[in-house]
């Protein structure tokens, strides 16, 4: 945490992006979160408690696994997997929720609210709240509650209340809108545990800082394994939390190329996509200036991806800035490419990845062919695929769309 980058500026701007486009009623709460995090991150007692939770509860540090069998499919490049899929609750999300739940308690809040798309962030939040004795309400688009009924049950088992959102497009973006509405009304005792590195300042910075350990661990692990820094670091990008998690520690290493792979959906130029940097334009969305999928009047366009966790029409402002400055490169990966990589990892390495992470993997295979034999590519395997078995089985024709074999 002490290695956090100097950007953003005091008002949360990353170059031309970021900032705070939020109702005045929330400014005091955002200021409080910012001030409390500034204190907590330098407080040895807080850090010790957080580090202990990461180690003793989440299972950190996560492993670095070399995917030897995958190399021949990647132009001979060495593929190193950062195994965030092995964390408790099955993804990198646990880092952020543990940190923010601790912060909520420190601020004296007794209730935590959060949005979720596929349910990963909701399950992680419900987990942290169960552990720390906080009331928990999760907003989830009605469509997603039907598609992800198992995760709804999971959150309920953990003691959370799940509220289906029936307004707008009834997906992740509408769940975020609804969570903000709850927050405005209940901000005196409620913390909004934002799930990705987006939203109004200080959320993009807070979420990045809480995930910083992912890239920091991986950097040490790659150095130890190969004796040098990787040639490239890759991650999938929806809102961008797992990507900034693994990028952040490498940003000062100029020799290391950073690649974010967006959800291309059916193709970034088809209109059925979630690739907001590739196919979107500058705009203000969910509290920050960033890249947004929008029409000529600034109305948000529906996004599409086979991966619910990447199905979001915008991206965190730091990624917009990294794209703008050229420090990181963002490319789309289609549903089909991601699912090919998904199957390949299952068959060659015995690892079922989250469909989100399969986008990073597909990108790494593409990149390996470009960089050639011997290149070292670090992939953030941000989550495991248990939650995606239904989607994948239907995609590969193992079951019908009703879930029957």
Partner 1 sequence: MAATTLQTKLARAREADRAALVGYLPAGFPDVESSIRVIEAMVEGGCDVIEVGLPYSDPMMDGPTIQRAADRALASGTTTDDVFRVVEATAATGAAALVMSYWNPIERYGVERFATELAKAGGAGVITPDLIPEEAQDWYAASDRAGLDRIFLVAPSSTDRRLELTTGACSGFVYAASLMGVTGTRAQVADTAETLVRRTREVTRDSGLPICVGLGISTAAQAAEVAAYADGVIVGAGFCQRILDAPDLETGLIAVRSFAEELAAGVRSR
Could you list the active site residues?
A: 93, 115, 382
Q: Which of residues 132-171 bind partner 1 (CB under 8 A)?
A: 167-168
Cα 10 to its chain centre, rounded Å, is 24
**How big is the site for partner 1, counted in residues (CB under 8 A)?**
36
Shortest Cβ 31–partner 1 spacing (Å): 8
Shortest Cβ 176–partner 1 spacing (Å): 8
Shortest Cβ 148–partner 1 spacing (Å): 22
101 with 128: CB under 8 angstroms? yes
Beta bridge partners of 262: 237, 332
Tell whether residue 35 is a contact of partner 1 (CB under 8 A): no
Shortest Cβ 187–partner 1 spacing (Å): 6
DSSP 8-state symbol, 92 = T
Q: Pick from 2, 6, 28, 56: which binds partner 1 (CB under 8 A)?
A: 28
Closer CB to partner 1, 11 or 44, in the complex:
11
Closer CB to partner 1, 11 or 45, in the complex:
11
Residue 153 structure tokens = 């049950």
Q: How far apart are CA 288 and CA 379, in angstroms?
A: 28
Q: How far apart are CA 63 and CA 380, in angstroms?
A: 11
Which of these segments, 25-33, 93-101, 149-157, 237-245, binds partner 1 (CB under 8 A)? 25-33
Residue 303 structure tokens = 């996004």
Closer CB to partner 1, 75 or 280, in the complex:
280
Q: How far apart are CA 67 and CA 29, in angstroms?
A: 45
Shortest Cβ 180–partner 1 spacing (Å): 5
Which of these segments, 19-27, 229-237, 245-253, 391-399, binds partner 1 (CB under 8 A)? 19-27
Closer CB to partner 1, 133 or 298, in the complex:
298
Task: Report CA Rg, the chain.
Answer: 19
Tell whether residue 299 is a contact of partner 1 (CB under 8 A): yes
- Which candidate, 396, 386, 82, places its Cα nearest to that of 247? 82
Shortest Cβ 74–partner 1 spacing (Å): 39
Tell whether residue 292 is a contact of partner 1 (CB under 8 A): yes
- Return the C-alpha torsion angle 145, 148, 151, 157, nearest 10: 50
Phi and psi at 179, nearest 5°, equal -65, -40
**Cα angle 120-125-128, degrees, rounded to a multiple of 5:** 130
Q: Pick from 76, 159, 164, 283: which binds partner 1 (CB under 8 A)?
A: 283
Tell whether residue 117 is a contact of partner 1 (CB under 8 A): no
Burial 151-189 (b: 16+ CB within 10 A, else e): bbebbeebebebbbbeeebbbbbbbbebbbebbeeebee
398 with 345: CB under 8 angstroms? no
138 with 126: CB under 8 angstroms? yes
Shortest Cβ 4–partner 1 spacing (Å): 22
Closer CB to partner 1, 34 or 85, in the complex:
34
Tell whether residue 187 is a contact of partner 1 (CB under 8 A): yes
Q: How far is CA 128 from CA 88, 90, 114, 251, 384, in A?
A: 11, 13, 12, 30, 19
Tell whether residue 405 is a contact of partner 1 (CB under 8 A): no
Closer CB to partner 1, 125 or 300, in the complex:
300
Closer CB to partner 1, 288 or 354, in the complex:
288
Tell whether residue 181 is a contact of partner 1 (CB under 8 A): yes
Tell whether residue 130 is a contact of partner 1 (CB under 8 A): no
Q: How far apart are CA 122 and CA 101, in angstroms?
A: 13
Closer CB to partner 1, 69 or 177, in the complex:
177
Edge to edge, the sheet with strand 288-292 lists 13-14, 17-18, 288-292, 281-285
Shortest Cβ 13–partner 1 spacing (Å): 9
Q: Pick from 8, 17, 19, 375: which binds partner 1 (CB under 8 A)?
A: 19
Tell whether residue 297 is a contact of partner 1 (CB under 8 A): yes
Q: Which residues of the shown chain bind partner 1 in the complex (CB under 8 A)?
A: 11, 19-29, 167-168, 173-174, 177, 180-181, 184-188, 283-287, 292, 294, 296-300
């Amino acid at each position: 945490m002490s290695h956090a980058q100097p950007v953003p500026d005091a008002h949360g701007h990353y170059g031309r992006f970021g900032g705070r486009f939020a109702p005045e009623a929330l400014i005091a709460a955002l200021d409080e979160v910012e001030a409390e995090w500034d204190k907590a991150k330098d407080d040895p007692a807080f850090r010790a408690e957080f580090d202990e939770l990461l180690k003793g509860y989440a299972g950190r540090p996560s492993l670095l696994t070399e995917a030897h069998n995958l190399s021949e499919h990647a132009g001979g490049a060495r593929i190193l997997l950062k195994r965030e899929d092995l964390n408790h609750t099955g993804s990198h999300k646990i880092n952020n929720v543990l940190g923010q739940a601790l912060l909520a308690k420190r601020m004296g809040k007794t209730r935590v609210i959060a949005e979720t798309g596929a349910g990963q962030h909701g399950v992680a939040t419900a987990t942290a709240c169960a552990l720390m004795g906080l009331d928990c309400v999760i907003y989830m688009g009605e469509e997603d509650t039907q598609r992800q009924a198992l995760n709804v049950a999971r959150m309920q088992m953990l003691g959370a209340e799940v509220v289906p959102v029936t307004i707008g497009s009834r997906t992740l973006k509408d769940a975020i809108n609804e969570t903000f509405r709850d927050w405005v009304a209940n901000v005196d005792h409620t913390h909004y545990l934002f799930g990705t590195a987006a939203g109004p300042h200080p959320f993009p910075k807070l979420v990045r800082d809480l995930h910083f350990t992912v890239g920091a661990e991986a950097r040490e692990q790659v150095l130890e394994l190969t004796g040098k820094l990787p040639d490239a670091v890759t991650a999938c990008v929806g809102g961008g939390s797992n990507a900034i998690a693994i990028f952040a520690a490498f940003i000062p290493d100029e020799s290391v190329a950073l690649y974010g792979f967006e959800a291309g959906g059916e193709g970034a130029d088809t209109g059925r996509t979630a690739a907001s940097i590739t196919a979107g334009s500058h705009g203000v969305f969910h509290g920050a200036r960033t890249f947004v999928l929008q029409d000529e009047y600034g109305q948000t366009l529906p996004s599409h991806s086979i991966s619910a966790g990447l199905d979001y029409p915008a991206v965190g402002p730091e990624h917009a800035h990294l794209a703008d400055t050229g420090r990181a490169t963002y490319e789309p990966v289609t549903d089909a490419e991601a699912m090919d990589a998904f199957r390949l990892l299952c068959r060659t390495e015995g690892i079922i990845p989250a469909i989100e992470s399969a986008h990073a993997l597909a990108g790494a295979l593409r990149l390996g062919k470009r960089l050639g034999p011997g290149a070292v590519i670090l992939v953030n395997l941000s989550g495991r695929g248990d939650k995606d078995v239904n989607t994948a089985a239907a995609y590969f024709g193992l079951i019908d769309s009703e879930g029957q074999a």
